[in-house]
Amino acid sequence: MALKEEFTKTGNGLFRWRGYFPLLISPLLLIALREPKYLDQAAGATAEHLWEGFCIAGSFTGLLIRCVVVGYAPKRTSGRNTERQKAETLNTEGLYSVARHPLYLGNFIIFLGMVLFVQTIWFIIFSILSFWLYYERIMFAEEEFLREKFGEAFLRWAEKTPAFLPKFRNWQKPALTFSSRNILKREYSAFFLIIVSFSAMDVLGDIFTHNTLKVEDSMWLILFIAGLIIYLILRALKTKTKILNVDGR
């Protein structure tokens, strides 16, 4: 099989399972969490807490990028489908005018905040390389699908728009209005995943390295409960009502 066909086939396979990518590195994460946190030992608890706040803010910045994409996304684009590639239109406006894969850029920033939180160099390097190798194949397969479906329109867009690192001077205002309901409908699970991930890493890290829980772990519990309540409310609104439905989205 030629490399083009092999990359496309592999990318389509990884596309269907992209939501489970964090599970691939979870065994190494458990090992990394057993190592003492560098900042706590080198600079004290205050520096560690500031770093943790920076990492959390970074991950929510990635979520914000996803929200901007989804808030302007037309129907059947920028979705969470896992069965096959799907796109009714070629979206080239908004964040798609500055990068061809803004959702994956958001995913990477979310992911980067989480791996930096661990403060283990070998794990950070391994995780970043794994993310790139995994998503590079997915992006290749998606672009082959778009090339076949939209032809010259895709090629013109790809010629002026970088794949991953944004070129902000290319910004084009979206034709659709911004929809907060579209965000609440489609991104509540990502919001909760961030809270769960940081809470779990902090608590497990304390158990592994100190064999006990710290006082501030109760704050993580409160944050987890608040996030769970928000998640359940939004999920109920999505599945049981039409409140979050938006025409044409």
Sequence-distant (≥ 6) Cβ neighbours of residue 45 within 8 angstroms: none
Structural domain including 130 reads 3-179
> What was the pLDDT predicted at 25?
87
pTM reported for the whole predicted model? 0.89
Q: 198 lies in a domain?
A: no
pLDDT of residue 238: 93
Burial class (CB in 10 A: 0-12, 13-18, 19+), 86: exposed
247 lies in some domain: no
| Residue 18 maps to a domain | yes
Predicted pLDDT at 209: 78
In a domain, 212, yes or no: no
Q: Tell me the β-bridge partners of 174.
A: none
The dihedral built from the CA positions of residue 170, 171, 174 and 180, taken in this order, carries a sign that is positive
CA diameter of the chain: 60
Position 85 scores a pLDDT of: 65
Q: Is residue 222 in some structural domain?
A: no
The pLDDT of residue 249 is 67
Between CA 111 and CA 29 the distance in angstroms is 13
The number of domains in the chain is 1
Q: Is residue 112 part of a domain?
A: yes
Series of mean pLDDT values for 10-residue runs along the chain (249 residues) = 75 78 87 80 78 95 96 71 66 93 96 94 95 92 90 93 94 90 93 94 83 71 92 95 83
User: Is residue 248 one of the residues assigned to a domain?
Assistant: no
CATH of the domain at 141: 1.20.120
End-to-end CA, the chain: 38
Query: How confident is the model at residue 84, as a pLDDT?
Result: 59
In a domain, residue 167? The reply is yes
Q: What pLDDT was estimated at residue 81?
A: 56
